[in-house]
Amino acid sequence: MADTTPALRPRRSVLYMPGANERALEKAAGLPADALILDLEDAVAPDAKAEARDRVCEAAASGRYGRREVTIRINGIGTPWHDDDLRAVAQAGPAAVVVPKIDSAASVHAVEKALEAAGAPDHTAIWGMLETPVAMLHAEEICRASDRLAVLVMGTNDLAKELQAEQVPGRAPLLAGLGLCLLAARATGKVILDGVYNDIRDAEGFEAECVQGRQMGFDGKTLIHPSQLEPCNRVFAPAPEDVEQAQRIIAAFEEAEAEGRGVVTVDGRMVENLHVDQARRTLALAAAIDALAAEA
């Protein structure tokens, strides 16, 4: 059986970098992040927005980040900087524009229309941040609004605020919203990224939340500090034993298929087509991660 699994783009670690900090933007070129979000929103004071916009767009267009997927987070719809941000980003042509507080299909349509009017290249995708109860309840229609919308980014801090919920280990107050967005992403073929972990001193808590996010089905996690990169990359990558098991599953299935056998077992467990599909995805992701490492 030929392997028809499509190539995957790893987005295990997606690091926010403050757009007003030239040194941070330079440092990002040497960090082992799968993707970068050069931030014009929360990380930039109002009186520094215009200067940061020029700096970030120049950085995104420079090619200095090599293999890393470079995106720009603009200011939200309705803010004084949104329209200028969109026009500038369209001209810079990053991998994506990250848009805060997307809460409807209409929001996606407005961003898409503005990008196209400003001449954005086809490769510049939209990453929509879902951060409100309204967005959770409309996640599927948001996902279906445009093919240009490629990635959902969970805004868990804002979601907790809107819910008037406590930030607690295990994130029980947020799980309903996270689950709705995961369902919408998987139903529509979108990538989905988990939200940030705020306490950079709590390495154990951070890793536990990475594990939870991976187990739930997230493709990766957004990060606020370089110290979070190593554990995030490790947790969201297939472990060596997972790769070995995937290889055994595929080999056993192909052998049984060639021999006309209908029942396949590996390590005492029955193997079906769905397990083979999962195994192929594991190997494709591991190969894509290895390819990124080779380019670093």
For the chain, the three-class secondary structure string (H helix, E strand, C coil) is CCCCCCCCCCCCEEEEEECCCHHHHHHHHHCCCCEEEEECCCCCCHHHHHHHHHHHHHHHHHCCCCCCEEEEECCCCCCCCHHHHHHHHHHHCCCEEEECCCCCHHHHHHHHHHHHHCCCCCCCEEEEEECCHHHHHCHHHHHCCCCCEEEEEECHHHHHHHHCCCCCCCCHHHHHHHHHHHHHHHHHCCEEEECCCCCCCCHHHHHHHHHHHHHHCCCEEEECCHHHHHHHHHHCCCCHHHHHHHHHHHHHHHHHHHHCCCCCEECCEECCHHHHHHHHHHHHHHHHHHHHHHHC
Structure tokens of 270?
């029955």
Contact 70, 63 (CB under 8 A): no
Q: Which of 89, 190, 81, 93 is nearest to 141 (CA)?
A: 190
Structural domains in the chain (count): 2
pLDDT digits (tens, 9 = 90+) for 275-296: 999 999 999 999 999 988 877 6
Same domain, 219 and 90: yes
Q: What is the mean pLDDT of the chain?
A: 94
Domain boundary among 186, 217, 235: 235
pLDDT classification of 3: cutoffs 50, 70, 90:
very low
Measured CA to CA, the distance from residue 228 to residue 93 in angstroms comes to 28
> Could you list the residue range(s) of the whole structural domain that residue 286 is in?
240-295
Residue 221 lies in a domain: yes
Say what the pLDDT of residue 280 is.
94
Same domain, 247 and 266: yes
More confident residue, 66 or 140: 140
- Judged against a pLDDT cut of 60, whether residue 82 lies above it is answered with yes
Domain boundary among 192, 208, 235: 235
Say what the pLDDT of residue 65 is.
94
pLDDT digits (tens, 9 = 90+) for 212-254: 999 999 999 999 999 999 999 999 999 999 999 999 999 998 8
Interhelix angle for 156-163 vs 175-188, to 10°? 130
Residue 258 lies in a domain: yes
pLDDT classification of 268: cutoffs 50, 70, 90:
confident
Say what the pLDDT of residue 228 is.
98
Same domain, 156 and 194: yes
- Judged against a pLDDT cut of 60, whether residue 5 lies above it is answered with no
- Judged against a pLDDT cut of 90, whether residue 266 lies above it is answered with no
Query: Residue 114 maps to which CATH number?
Result: 3.20.20.60
Same domain, 223 and 245: no
Structure tokens of 219?
């493709």
Which residues, other chains included, contact 199 with Cβ-Cβ below 8 Å and sequence gap of 6+? 205, 206
Say what the pLDDT of residue 6 is.
45
| Residue listed under structure tokens 């190593």 | 230
pLDDT classification of 7: cutoffs 50, 70, 90:
low
- For residue 151, the cross-strand partners are 127, 191
Same domain, 92 and 207: yes
Residue 1 lies in a domain: no
Residue 150 lies in a domain: yes
Say what the pLDDT of residue 296 is.
64
- Tell me how crowded residue 215 is: count the other CB atoms within 10 A of its CB: 9
Same domain, 147 and 178: yes
Cα dihedral 140→229→43→75 (10° resolution): -30
Contact 154, 100 (CB under 8 A): no
Measured CA to CA, the distance from residue 91 to residue 271 in angstroms comes to 50
Same domain, 227 and 267: no
Q: Is the dihedral of CA 33, 36, 41, 47 positive or negative?
A: positive
Residue 87 lies in a domain: yes
